[in-house]
Chain A
Amino acid sequence: MSRVLLAFALFVSLSASAQESVKIGLITALSGQSARAGEAITRGLQVAIDELNAKGGLLGRKFELVRRDDEATPAKGVIAARELLFREKVTVLFGGLDTPVSIAIVPIVNEAKIPFMGPWAAGTPITKNGAKDNYVFRVSAVDEIVDKAMLQYAQRTFNAKNCGMILVNNPWGESNEKGLTAALSAKGLKAAGIEKFEGNDVDVVPQLTRLKAAGADCLFLVGNVGPSAQVVKSLDRMGWKPPVVSHWGPAGGRFTELAGPSAKDVHFIQTYSFFGKQSPVGTKVMKALMAKYPDIKSPGDITPAVGVANAYDAMMLTALAIQAAGKLDGTAIGKHEGLIKSYNKPFTPEVHDAVNENDYVWTQFIDNQIVPVGMKK
């Protein structure tokens, strides 16, 4: 049996009685700058859990979501992980949006042999963590793939030839520094410059001035919503308007309010958009969200969409894995019509990431809504 299936097979080694619920743990930022992102993951998971429970749950047992706030801090994430794994005895643990937190949790889940599913954090080492028995899976973007897509987008859309990097100074920024450098090297290119900034920096002008002086004709931006807004405000103060191609950090909050009118000039990656024509699964999920959450009245209210979509698909794939292992026949997850795409054997012993570069959507903020680039002015 492959490691993947071995991992998921552990789901059904639950000794709990049939009356007990199947606990699904979630550790994410539920407060602070990324609270919205944490709420989006919660909503995606909850809508999927409601759908699964309406169909009878798992062999008569209902799924139940148990959440903890990591406050975007690895130390708090680790404490929460130990509590959910060993006291709450969750069957599977879902992570949040912060790569440093997920990276801190990975050794714990691998040691405990409990599956960890990532619906957001994109750091490459989360799934490629070097563990012999790797219990970490992801339905989300992956930095090293996103980085290739960012370079390709900058060249194709803006005819960029000399891009500079402005990266938040944490493991997520480092992960993308490696990925972007590798993507540039593969095309025989080098970055105009690589600059880091702290998440609480008020002014990023000195770093941006260095990139401008180095002749950067576009910027690769990696940072969560607050830090990304600081970069945009600093660009405004400098009066410099290079194309900004970003990882998906801006999607995590009130980017337009924080960054001001120039927020719309940042093009960033997403795995899904609820705008435009929807698949039957998309229509079903949108209806469920509008019925459950009164503040959702249109696609623009499902924000950040990536959190909802990734979490929904991740929960559905998790349930499929549990059911597959429940038959004790070792059958892998087969085909599944998801929100982001049609999955076909998404996980293998070597590949623990279900989403790839063909599944990305380029978006921008227009009037506080994340829409595909060019859809609205």
Chain B
Amino acid sequence: MLASAILTGLGLGSMYGLLALGFYVTYSVSSTVNFAQGSSMMLGAVFAYAFSVRFGLPLAAAVAVALALCALYGLLVGAIAVRPFARRGSNAWLMATVALGIVADNVVLFTFGKEPRGFPMVFSGSLQIAGINVSYLQLAIPAVGLSLAAALHVFSRRFIQGKALLAVVQNPDAARLMGINVPRVVAASYAASTLLAGVAGIMIAPLSNVHSDMGTLFGLKAFAVAILGGITSAWGVMLAGLIFGVAEALITAFLGSAYTQILSFTLVIVALAIMPDGLFGRAAVKKV
């Protein structure tokens, strides 16, 4: 039971982590986030379903188009729900991103349809590990999640473009003087954020169903994970996702599902009470 629960938790946890990485990317660059990250996840699944099943594209092509559209949606979020408010020093982007997510959910409801649809199964088949049945998809999900977290970490530490991303949040004016196009970098971070959410949506779709509100609860949990992880560390956010997912699965497996939500969110509160900057975050340094 333990191994099975851990496997389930790792799968779900890496999806929370991927979504939470989206929060990390934009927060690292602009100290803003897209609160409707769950809607971006839903769009990834809906676009991939539409292009593969309804328009008959090969799955790989459908996924590529879906991710490109997710990135475009991220540019839209940054341009109309964040930038106009952030540049005036207003925090109204909080509500604007939620509102845009609700608009996206409802546009999908009317265009995609009201009924949930089944996503084509990818990586079908399974193998036996330590006496438990493990589907290839269950292995692929954490592998993709961890690979993307690693890629993001390397990009932000080793590449000049990645360093430019981090420079923007530290001092936008100095970054501008150094020749960094700040609005473009912020826009790119939103595109990357929704692209990561799109990957999570496409990975989770074969396990779940595709429908307009499939991302709502995921988005909420991912935000809890981002805060738990400290939001300023890619690895921290990903690890927090895995911890949250495994904790959920273990609570369900050993105590029963009645306690899952109560205990998992209580653990988040307790962890943040003890470590206010998250499990892997660092307190912001105020220079006076």
Contact = CB atoms under 8 A, between A and B. Distances in A.
B133 A226 contact: no
B117 A206 contact: no
Contacts of A257: 117-118
Contacts of A31: 109, 114
B115 A206 contact: no
Interface string B115-147: 111100100001000001101001000000000
Nearest to B206: A233
B252 interface: yes
B138 A254 contact: no
A203 interface: yes
B4 A209 contact: yes
Given A229-B209, A260-B121, A238 B133 contact: yes
Contacts of A260: 118, 121
A301 to B, nearest CB: 16
B156 interface: no
Which of A30, A207, A259 counts the most B-chain CB atoms under 10 A from its CB?
A: A207
B18 to A, nearest CB: 14
B115 A33 contact: yes
Contacts of A233: 207
B71 interface: no
A196 B116 contact: no
Interface stretch (B5-13, B166-174, B187-195, B229-237): B5-13
A3 interface: no
A206 B13 CA distance: 14
Interface stretch (B82-90, B96-104, B253-261): B253-261
A197 interface: yes
A254 B207 contact: no
B91 interface: no
Nearest to A166: B257
Contacts of B253: 206, 209-210
B263 to A, nearest CB: 13
Contacts of B161: none
Contact of B4 (A32, A205, A253, A259): A205
Contacts of B135: 236-237
A200 interface: yes
B274 interface: no
Interface string A181-205: 0000000000000011110101101
B258 A196 contact: yes
Interface string A220-234: 000000100110010
Contacts of B209: 33, 226, 229-230, 258
Interface in B222-261: 249-250, 252-253, 256-258, 261
B138 A237 contact: yes
B211 A33 contact: yes
Contacts of A206: 4-5, 8, 249-250, 252-253, 257
Nearest to B137: A237
A203 B8 CA distance: 7
Which of A31, A197, A198, A209 counts the most B-chain CB atoms under 10 A from its CB?
A: A209
Nearest to A202: B208
Contacts of A207: 252, 256-257
B60 interface: no
The secondary-structure label for the interface of chain A is helix
A294 interface: no
Interface string B1-24: 100110110011000000000000
A239 interface: yes
B204 interface: yes
Which of B1, B115, B118, B204 counts the most A-chain CB atoms under 10 A from its CB?
A: B115
Interface string B35-53: 0000000000000000000
A36 interface: yes
A209 B9 CA distance: 13
A226 B116 contact: yes
Nearest to B250: A206
Nearest to B204: A202
B126 A239 contact: yes
A155 interface: no
B217 interface: yes
A13 interface: no
A274 to B, nearest CB: 21
B12 A203 contact: yes
Interface string A233-259: 100111110000000000001100111
B116 A197 contact: no
Contacts of A202: 12, 204, 207-208
Contacts of A258: 116-118, 209
B255 to A, nearest CB: 10
A240 B1 CA distance: 13
Nearest to B126: A239
A298 interface: no
B258 to A, nearest CB: 6
| A-B interface, 3 closest residue pairs, ranked by CB to CB distance from nearest | A239-B133, A206-B252, A257-B118
23 contacts: A32-B211, A33-B116, A33-B209, A36-B115, A195-B257, A198-B257, A200-B214, A202-B207, A203-B11, A205-B249, A206-B8, A206-B253, A207-B256, A207-B257, A209-B5, A226-B116, A229-B118, A229-B209, A230-B208, A237-B207, A253-B115, A253-B116, A258-B116
Given A206-B257, A237-B133, A253-B115, 17 more contacts: A33-B115, A35-B114, A169-B258, A195-B256, A198-B261, A200-B214, A202-B12, A203-B207, A206-B4, A206-B5, A206-B253, A210-B253, A233-B207, A237-B126, A237-B207, A239-B126, A253-B116
